């Protein structure tokens, strides 16, 4: 019974997980480009353990981490776009396949959630004074 509990605890610890972290930013402290107002930085990450080529729980790919986690969270925060996106994923082919025996695979993406600012109208011109 103790061995079963230990194995279950080990699988739970090494099992994959996903997380999305956000931090609100002051628009004046972060420049992202003209006409864009930063509201938050979003970081999404998925990790999956492998035991003898079986992913626990699986689902590590850029589509999930970018589209379903990063962009969805930014939109939920009220962002129009995400800029300065950076991604990283553990390769799934070549020598990296050996990691599937006992190892892990991860994918992560981060970016700045922004809203598009409406251009400010120019102040009305004052008529020139006549002499």
- The structure tokens listed for 110 are 């981060």
Q: Where are the beta strands (DSSP E) in the chain?
A: 17-24, 36-51, 54-56, 81-89, 102-116
CATH class of the region 15-116:
alpha beta
Measured distance CA(92)–CA(90) in Å, rounded: 7
Q: What is the chain's pLDDT, residue by residue, as a tens digit (131 residues)?
A: 554 444 444 444 444 588 999 999 999 999 999 999 999 999 999 998 888 878 787 678 899 999 999 999 999 999 999 999 999 998 888 888 887 777 888 999 999 999 999 876 666 766 666 55
Which secondary-structure segment (H or E) carries 6? helix 2-14
Number of Cβ within a 10 Å radius of residue 13: 8
With CA atoms as reference, report the closest residue to 86 among 66, 70, 110.
110
pTM: 0.74
- Bridge partners of 109? 44, 87
């Amino acid at each position: 019974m103790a061995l079963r509990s230990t194995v279950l605890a080990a699988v739970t610890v090494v099992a994959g997980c996903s997380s999305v972290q956000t931090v609100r930013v002051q628009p004046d402290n972060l420049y992202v480009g003209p006409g864009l107002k930063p509201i938050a930085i979003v970081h999404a990450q998925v990790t999956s353990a492998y035991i003898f080529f079986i992913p626990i729980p699986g689902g590590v790919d850029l589509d999930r981490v970018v589209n379903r986690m990063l962009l969805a969270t930014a939109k939920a925060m009220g962002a129009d776009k995400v800029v300065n996106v950076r991604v990283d994923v553990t390769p799934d082919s070549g020598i990296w396949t050996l990691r599937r025996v006992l190892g892990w695979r991860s994918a992560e993406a981060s970016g700045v959630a922004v809203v598009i600012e409406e251009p400010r109208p120019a102040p009305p011109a004052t008529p020139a004074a006549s002499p």
